Amino acid sequence: MANITKKVSWTSRGDDAGGGEGTPLLNGSEEVRYTRQLSGVGGMFHIGRLSTVDLEEDVTSDEEARPTKSQRYGSVSTYPGSLQDSPKGRPEEIPHNEKLLSLKFESLDYDSSENQLFLEEERRMSYLGFRCLEISRWVICGLIGFLTGLIACCIDIAVEKLAGVKYFVVKQNIEKFTEVGGLSISLILWAVLNSSLVMVGAITVAFIEPIAAGSGIPQIKCYLNGVKIPRVVRLKTLVVKVFGVICSVAGGLAVGKEGPMIHSGAVVAAGVSQGRSTSLKKDFKIFEYFRRDTEKRDFVSAGAAAGVSAAFGAPVGGVLFSLEEGASFWNQMLTWRIFFASMISTFTLNFFLSIYNNKPGDLSSPGLINFGRFESDSVAYNFYEIPLFIVMGAIGGLLGALFNKLNYWLTIFRIRYVHRPCLQVMEAMLVAAVTATVSFSMIYFSNDCQPLGPDQSEDYQLQLFCADGEYNSMATTFFNTPERSVRSLFHNPPGSYNPGTLGMFTVTYFFLACWTYGLAVSAGVFIPSLLIGAAWGRLFGILLPTVTASGSIWADPGKYALIGAAAQLGGIVRMTLSLTVIMVEATGNVTYGLPIMLVLMTAKIVGDYFVEGLYDIHIKLQSVPFLHWEAPATSHWLTAREVMGAPVICFNRLEKVGTIVDILSNTSTNHNGFPVVVPVAASDEPGKICGLILRSQLIVLLKHKVFVELARSRLTQRKLQLKDFRDAYPRFPPIQSIHVSQDERDCMMDLSEFMNPTPYTVPQETSLPRVFKLFRALGLRHLVVVDHDNRVVGLVTRKDLARYHLGKHGLEELQLAQT
C-alpha cells in the first residue's frame, strides 16, 4: 500500500486537496499522513459526502490527538458557508447523510488512569475501606431502584388521572351529542384536548431539553457503549422527560411510557452515584470515590435495568436488557447489584401503587404495564401450533422492517426540514389532532357492537349508536390508554371483536405509531408495537377457524394476540433474550417461553434481512461512533498502521507551560489524549512512549498552577490530590477560562506524577480485528500505536474503528463530519 503525503484543509472547496496547513509536531517538523489507495483491494469503499453543518447549537468535539481522517483522505466534499448563505443563519434544508460519523461526540474512558496519585490512594486504603466501598455500591443500587420505582409510580398516577379526566369529559360530551346531533363538537373537543396536552409536552422538550425527545433508549445504548452523549444524564433531562411523557401519553398519542422509564432510571443512577448535582450546584460530599466514568457507567446500566423492571414488572428482564442492549462490560458482582436495583424498583412501584389503590400491602401490580395473568389451562398450546407461531414471527419481522423503513425516511425528512423548535411543536400538535380525528372517525363509522358483559374491564366504554346493553367495540381499542387496550386484546373473551374492526385498527394504528415515533415528545415505542401486534395477532387467531373449518381447537384468540404482540415488538426493536424474559414475566406464565423465543428469533432474522432495528437506525442517523461487539468480518487485511491517526501531538515528561496552553487552545485540534514521550537523539524522529495524559488532567494542572518553579519557591504548597480531579469531573472547565500569565508560560510542568505510565499499546502491524477486540473489551479511549523501538507512530480512537462497517458492497468506510 502506498504512503502518500497529502495536506487537506477542512475549508477546501470540492475535491481540492491542497492548500491546507497541517498541525505541526512540537519540534516543528512537517506532518506525514498515511493515506492508502483503495483500488485493487478486497473491499470496496464508499466515501459519503461531507456536510460541515451543525445540527445542534452547542457542539463538543472529541477529536483525539490526531488529525481528522478527512484531512488524511483527499476525497472530501465540503460546503463552506452553508449556514451563512441562508437567511437568519439557518438553511431551509439541512443536508444530511447517514454515511457520516459525527465529530461532536466524545468517548467515555472506562480504563482508569493508573498514575502515581491513583496508586498511592489505592495503597493507602485498607481492606475495611474496600469493604465499605462495596457496601456503598449496594446502597447506591438500592437508592437507584427506590427512586426509579417512585418516578414510575408518579408517572403512572399522573397519566391515569389526566387521561381519566380527558376521557370522562369527552365521553360525557359524546353521549350528550349522540342524542341531539352535532357530534362534530365532540370531535373538536377531543382534538383540542389532545393537542393542548401534547403542545405543553412538546414545548418543554423542544425549547428546554431536546435530548429528552423519544424513548431515550438509543442514547442510553450509546452511553453504555462508551459514547458521551451531551446532556443525556442531567437532572433537567430527567424532569423534562417525566413531564413530557405524562403529557404525550395523556394526550392520546400512539406512544407508551415504558421506554422513557429506562432513560429516567439511567439519569437517576448517574446522579445518585455521584453524590452531588452539578445542575443544582449542590455537593453532598458522599460517594466521591465513584466520580469517574468507570463507576458511573456501571451504575447507569443498573439504572437502565431498574427502569425496565419498573416498566414491565420484570426484574430479570431488566438485568438481561442491560446485558443485551447496554453494558459493554460485565462481571458477576455487577449482575447481582443490577438485579438488586431491579427488584427494589419493582417492589417500590408495587408498594406505592397498592397504597394509591387503597389496598396497602397488595403487591399484585409489579409494573407500569400489567398484561394480566394467562391461565395455563385456558390458553394451552399444542406442538402443531409451533409452525403457526413461527409464521407469525416472520409476519412480525416483515411488518417491523416496514415500520423501521418508513420511520427512517420520515426521520431523514425531519432532520432536513423540521429542525426548528416551533416547527417540531406544530408537528406534534398536528399528529395529536390527526390521531384524535382518525380515532373518532373509526369509532363513528364502526358498527361493531358487542354485548356488555359482567366481567368487562374497560373504564371508558362508549355506547354511541349501539343498542342499550351494548358498547362500541372499536371504542375499546381507541378510546383508552394503550396499556388498557393491550390488556383487553389479550383477555377479552372470544367474540369481543369482529375481524373488520381489528384489521382497520391494525392498519391505522401502524401508520399513526410510525408517524409518532421521532416527534419532539418524550415517548416510547414498546406499547404501540405490542398493541399493533396484539391486534393483528388476535385477528390471526379469529381467522384460523375459518381457514381450517374447525371451531374448537383455536378457541381462545388471546394467545395469538400475545404471540402477535411479541412478534411485532421483536420485528421493530430486534431484541431477543431480554424481550423473551420480559414477556414471560409480564404475563406471569412461563408456558409461553418457548413460543415467544421462537417468534422473536424468527422476527429478528427476517427483519434483519431487510433493515436494522429501530434503535440502531436512530443511532446511525445521529452519526454516533457506535462500536458493535465484533469488528467487520472482512477487515483482517487492515492493520493498525492503516486505521491509526498520525502523526500524534506528544508532550515531553517536562514540558513548557506555554506549549501546553497553545496546543490545548488550538480549536482546530481539539484533542483529548496526548502520549508522553522521551525524546530520542535524532530530533526529527518520534519519541519513545512513557505515558499518556488526558486534556482534562492538563486543565486541572493548569488551573492549580502545578509548575516546577512554583513548587520550588513555595515549599509549603499543598500537593495536588486525586480529589481535585474528581471535584472537577464531569464538567471540566474549558481552557479559555484559565488565565496563564506571560511569566507562567515560561515555566515548566512535570507530567510524571499525573500521566498514566502504563497505557495500552499495540504494534503497527496488528490486524484491525485484534485492535478492535482490545479497544472494545477494555473500554479504551485511546490506544497508542508503536513501532519495534517503542516509538509513537500513531493513535487509535473510537472513530477510527467505528468508521468501518459491512455494507451491501463489502467493507465500507464512513467519513467524519461536524454534524
CATH number of residue 317's parent domain = 1.10.3080.10
Which of 200, 250, 192 has its CA nearest to residue 433?
Answer: 192
pLDDT at residue 546 greater than cutoff 80? no
Q: Count the domains in the chain.
A: 3
Residues 331 and 218 in one domain: yes
The three-point CA angle 369-370-373 to 5° equals 160
Q: pLDDT value at position 198?
A: 93
The model's pTM: 0.84
173 and 291 both lie in a single domain: yes
pLDDT at 47 (0 to 100): 33
In this structure, are residues 520 and 474 in contact, taking their beta carbons and an 8 Å threshold? no
Consecutive H or E run containing 793: strand 792-797
Q: Are residues 74 and 208 in the same domain?
A: no
Residue given cell 474503528 in the structure block: 801
The residue from 587, 621, 655 where one domain ends is: 621
Query: Cis before residue 647, ω within 30 degrees of 0?
Result: yes
For residues 781 and 790, the answer to whether their CB atoms sit within 8 Å is no
Contact in structure between 270 and 233 (CB atoms under 8 Å): yes
Cell 461526540 sits on residue: 105
Confidence of residue 521 (pLDDT cuts 50, 70, 90): very high
pLDDT at 28: 34
Give the span between the Cα atoms of 704 and 140, in whole angstroms: 32
Q: Does one domain contain both 230 and 135?
A: yes
Query: 649 and 730 in one domain?
Result: yes
Of residues 196 and 68, which shows the higher confidence score?
Answer: 196
Answer yes or no: do 96 and 19 share one domain.
Answer: yes
User: How high does pLDDT run on average in the chain?
Assistant: 80
Residue with the three cell numbers 391461565: 375
- pLDDT tens-digit series, residues 425-464: 999 999 999 998 988 888 888 777 777 765 554 455 666 6
Shared domain for 332 and 394, answered yes or no, is no
Q: What is the pLDDT of residue 555?
A: 60
Does residue 295 fall inside a structural domain?
yes
Distance (Å, rounded) from C-alpha 257 to C-alpha 214? 10
- Does residue 370 lie in a domain region? no
Q: What is the pLDDT of residue 97?
A: 63
Q: Determine what percent of the chain is predicted with pLDDT higher than 90.
A: 30
**Residues 610 and 707 reside in one and the same domain:** no
On whether both 95 and 144 belong to a single domain, the answer is no
Domain contains 450: no
Residues 706 and 795 in one domain: yes
Interval 308-315 mean pLDDT: 89
Least confident of 99-103, 141-145, 264-268, 626-630: 99-103
Residue 45 in this model has a pLDDT that exceeds 60 = no
> In sequence order, what are the residues at sequence separation of 6 or more whose Cβ sits closer than 8 angstroms to the Cβ of residue 505?
442, 474, 477, 478, 535
- Domain span including residue 743: 4-104+634-817
Flag whether pLDDT at 765 surpasses 70: yes
Is 372 contained in some domain? Answer: no
Q: Is there a single domain that holds both residue 148 and residue 282?
A: yes
Given 572, 587, 621, which residue is the final one in a domain? 621
Which pLDDT value is given to residue 588? 77
- pLDDT for 117 equals 85
User: Domain of 10: which CATH number?
Assistant: 3.10.580.10
pLDDT at residue 85 tops 50? no
- Asked whether residue 760 is assigned to any structural domain, the reply reads yes
In a domain? residue 78 = yes
Residues 608 and 640 grouped into a single domain = no
349 in a domain, yes or no? yes
pLDDT value at position 110? Answer: 82
Using the 3D structure, point to which of 356, 376, 401 is the last residue of a domain.
Answer: 356
